[in-house]
Amino acid sequence: MPWQEQMGTIGRALGRSDKAAEVVADVGARIAGEREANPAFAGLTVVLAGGVAGGSFGVFGAQDPKVRLLTELGFTSPEAIDRATGKEHYGEISRERLRLIDEDVLIFVGDPGLRDDPLFRRLDVVREQRTVNLDEDDAAYPALNFNTPLSIPFVLDTLVPRLAAAATGNGATPSSP
């Protein structure tokens, strides 16, 4: 469920629908401000992916709340990822299909050791430093996962500058082999 709907439901349950609508409007305006401040995001594809036990990679599709937030910022979710996840918000791809995550910008979450995978390191998005790496101890990671009106401003403050750097090829530097 989108964060806006969650907030509306909470507002109705607490008899504070007006306050909930105000919070949604305030956070929505903040997202719109970031989108306007970062016109380079418009039309760029973004993939949110991470490593999974057994050597496969998890990908988040357009139905995932985290990806919805990224699209609110102007990015688009690649059709190939959306096909891989189907109607679900998440799917797994094998190493052989890793090219699916080779898009304009990659947000890689989880196990940093998987970033040393030889196939992963050959992706253009990695070699051209168009990645944002979110390790599990990175505060932006749980904030992005929660995706609430309380966490979204923190995500905007901490993740948007990193996304802007990645969009211009000044993102994360691949680790040494």
- Alpha helices per DSSP H over the chain: 3-13, 17-37, 65-72, 79-85, 118-122, 124-127, 140-146, 152-167
Parse the chain into domains and list their residue ranges.
40-167
Instruction: Read off the pTM.
Output: 0.90
Please identify which residue in the block is written with the tokens 């309380």: 150
Share of the chain above pLDDT 90, in %: 64
Side-chain-facing half-sphere of 16: CA atoms under 13 Å: 9
Domain 40-167 top-level CATH class: alpha beta
Distance, CA of 137 to CA of 123 (rounded, Å): 25
More confident residue, 106 or 94: 106
Q: Kindly give, in sequence order, each residue whose CB lies less than 8 Å from that of residue 36, ignoring residues fewer than 6 positions away.
A: none
Residue 59: the pLDDT is 94
